[in-house]
Amino acid sequence: MENGESQKRAHERLDVWRDSMDLVEMIYRLSAAFPDSERFGLTAQARRAVISVPANIAEGAARRSTPEYVRFLSIARGSLSEVSTHLQIARRLGYTSDLSDTDRLIDTVFARLTALMNALQKRGEK
């Protein structure tokens, strides 16, 4: 009998993917409080960027080559930096104030993405 963990897709077993999914929820809740005038601006941009993070991790994990996997992780990391910038803009505009939990999770996801990229690249060099 297999456990539930072994039945998951490769990306679903990654802590970085699970953390990035938590970040999606966090950003959606946070951006729901942005002004209605930002619905097609900052709100949409932040949501699009944050969705891109776990989506690119998943797509990379499904690729057959390590260089492709690393490339998709790099795209995810770029999207994560975009999310961070959107949140800094929201803070400057007074749409939100305390982002300490969000900032911590962004830092965690960024570090985990970097570590995974480094491990994959090292493994590919052998």
**What is the percent of the chain where pLDDT is above 90?**
85
Within a domain: 77: yes
**Other Cβ atoms closer than 10 A to 25:** 10
- C-alpha distances (whole Å) from 80 to each of 3, 47, 53 are 32, 11, 6
pLDDT computed for residue 3 by the predictor: 57
The total of structural domains in the chain comes to 1
Indicate which CATH number applies to the domain containing 51. 1.20.1440.60
pTM listed for this prediction: 0.90
Q: Which domain range does residue 101 map to?
A: 8-125
Q: What is the pLDDT of residues 12-63, one digit of tens each?
A: 999 999 999 999 999 999 999 999 999 999 999 999 999 999 999 999 999 9
